[in-house]
Amino acid sequence: MSDANILFLRLEGPLQAWGDNSKFVIRRTMEAPTKSGVLGLICCGMGLSRQKAREHLPDLNRLRMGVRIDRPGTRWWDYHTVGAKVGILNAAGVIKITQTTKEKETLVSRREYLCDASFLAALRGEADLIERVKDALENPAWPLFLGRKSCPPSRPILAGETQSGDLVTALQCQPWQPRYETDEPPGEGCVPCLAEWRASREEPTAPAEAEVWYDAPVSFDPPVHEPRLVVRRPVRVKIGDPTQRRIPPPPRPRADYQNTEYRKARDARLRGDHGLCVFCKSPGTTVQHTTYRRAGGGESQDDLRSLCRLCHDAVTMIEYGLGMGLDRINPCDPRWRAQIIAKRAEIVAFRSLETRRRRLEAEEVE
């Protein structure tokens, strides 16, 4: 068997958190998945506890890891409470007590997340080890998460495998999948890539730009990590098929005030209401759509109500404020009466005296 098998992992979800060496109440996240986080995910799939994982970490650390940052995401903050009803120990090993309530103290910590990020990770190692990792992720013993238990993945984690090439070449050969057809990779077709560096006969010395990441896990309980070297390189990728398709909204019926059938229904409604506003009994000058489901010429008299201009403006403003869709306000419904009266008064107070004289009825100019 080849000793250069590579397994690809798609790490994508609403939230991700890949902790660095931050401690205490401020918990930040790295810009990309850490080796500690990815190996912890594998141990979770294997059903290993934090204590039991220590026996398997030497084998898992033989895997070389590379990460392609397909979508960096947005950094978000949230807060967590720790130790509620259990207690937090102080430096002397005694549970802290709140001075005012005399209850066990609860610790509030701020935690950072990557929102809407997407990464393609590649693990390179011996064929039998890669096969064990693949089996664990295909049939996980415990639910998998992206750094923290509150961060479930939104796509299957396994994303294929290959049997040749180095990490950077393998990541470059995998298509970059846009979310929509119009999306493009960041950096004019190039995507950032973080590849683990190890000394070799061809390259015995690390390049000057190599970064030190303290994320190679020795133990999860207690947390102990060793440094590793990471080289950042941009890779040019091919654009693959989009993962989502933009679905146009369904056509929405709209009123056609020039339509002959609408005009007939409008005139019939005004005659049926004796030319009066159904709300304030002023002369009715227009009609109000109570629903737009048959708008555009299919309206019936029951879809319309006669209103004066002031009541029509008041009802329309309420509808826009509530963001109503096809079904609108029926001004004859008693539950809308108080709101329409209040909106009428607001309109009258806002308009200038000249506008009121020119646009409103005589009773409204007083």
User: Is 229 a residue whose pLDDT tops 50?
Assistant: yes
**Count of CB atoms situated within 10 Å of the CB of 193:** 22
Question: What is the per-residue pLDDT for 342?
Answer: 96
Amino acid identity, position 3: D
Query: What pairs with residue 29 in β-bridges?
Result: 19
Contacts for 273-279 with beta carbons within 8 Å, 24 or more apart?
273/305, 273/306, 275/306, 276/306, 277/306, 277/307, 277/308, 277/311, 278/305, 278/306, 278/307, 278/331, 278/332, 279/307, 279/308, 279/311, 279/331, 279/332, 279/340
Q: What pLDDT was estimated at residue 362?
A: 52
Query: What is the pLDDT at residue 352?
Result: 66
Q: Which residues fall within 8 angstroms of residue 47, CB to CB, at 6 or more apart?
A: 140, 141, 142
Question: Greater confidence, 99 or 149?
Answer: 149
Nearest alpha carbon to residue 230 among 71, 35, 93: 35
Q: What is the pLDDT of residue 101?
A: 84
Q: Would the pLDDT of 274 be above 90?
A: yes
Q: Give CATH 3.30.70.2660 domain extents, the chain.
A: 5-80+108-236
DSSP 8-state assignment for residue 204: -
Point out the least confidently predicted range of 24-38, 105-119, 252-266, 343-357.
Answer: 343-357
What is the predicted pLDDT for the residue at 248?
83
Extract the tokens encoding 40: 């912890």
Per mean pLDDT, which range of 17-26, 153-162, 295-304, 330-339 is the poorest?
A: 17-26
Segment 252-264 mean pLDDT? 91
Say how many C-beta atoms besides its own lie within 10 A of residue 275's C-beta.
11
Q: How far apart are CA 140 and CA 133, in angstroms?
A: 10
Tens of pLDDT along 64-122?
999 999 999 999 999 888 777 777 888 788 888 888 888 888 888 899 999 999 999 99
Rounded-to-integer distance, Cα 269 and Cα 263, Å: 10
pLDDT for 252 equals: 82
pLDDT at 10 over 50: yes
- The set of residues, in sequence order, having a beta carbon less than 8 Å from that of 206 and lying 6+ positions away, is 197, 199, 229, 231
Q: Which residues contact 294 (CB under 8 A, 6 or more apart)?
A: 253, 300, 303
Mean pLDDT over residues 125-137, rounded? 95
The token pair that represents 293 in the structure block: 């489901």
Handedness of CA 295, 301, 304, 309 (dihedral sign): positive
In terms of pTM, does the model score above 0.75?
Answer: no
User: Amino acid letter at 267?
Assistant: D
**Model confidence band, residue 1 (pLDDT cutoffs 50, 70, 90):** very low
**For the CA atoms of 120, 126, 128, 133, what is the dihedral angle to 10 degrees?**
-30
Report the half-sphere exposure of 196 (CA within 13 A, side-chain side): 22
Task: Provide the angle, in degrees to the nearest 10, between the axes of the packed helices 35-46 and 127-138.
Answer: 70
Q: Binning pLDDT at 50, 70 and 90, where does residue 366 land?
A: very low
CATH number of 5-80+108-236: 3.30.70.2660
Structure tokens at 328: 């609108």
Residue 122's nearest CA partner among 199, 189, 191, 56 is 191
Which one is predicted more confidently, 246 or 134? 134
* Residue range 176-202, pLDDT digits in tens: 999 888 888 877 779 999 999 999 999
Split at pLDDT 50, 70, 90, the class of 365 is: very low
Instruction: Report, as an integer, the average pLDDT of 253-264.
Output: 92
Taking residues 118-140, report their average pLDDT.
96
* Percent of the chain clearing pLDDT 90 (strictly above): 72
| Cα distance between residue 111 and residue 82, in whole Å | 12
230 membership: H or E segment, kind and range: strand 223-236
Considering only residues 353 and 51, tell me which one the structure prediction assigns the higher pLDDT: 51
Residues 299, 101: Cα–Cα separation, whole Å:
66
**Is the predicted pLDDT of residue 360 greater than 70, yes or no?**
no
How high is the pLDDT of residue 85? 77
Asked if residues 239 and 184 have their Cβ atoms less than 8 Å apart, the reply is yes
Task: Specify the pLDDT at position 57.
Answer: 97
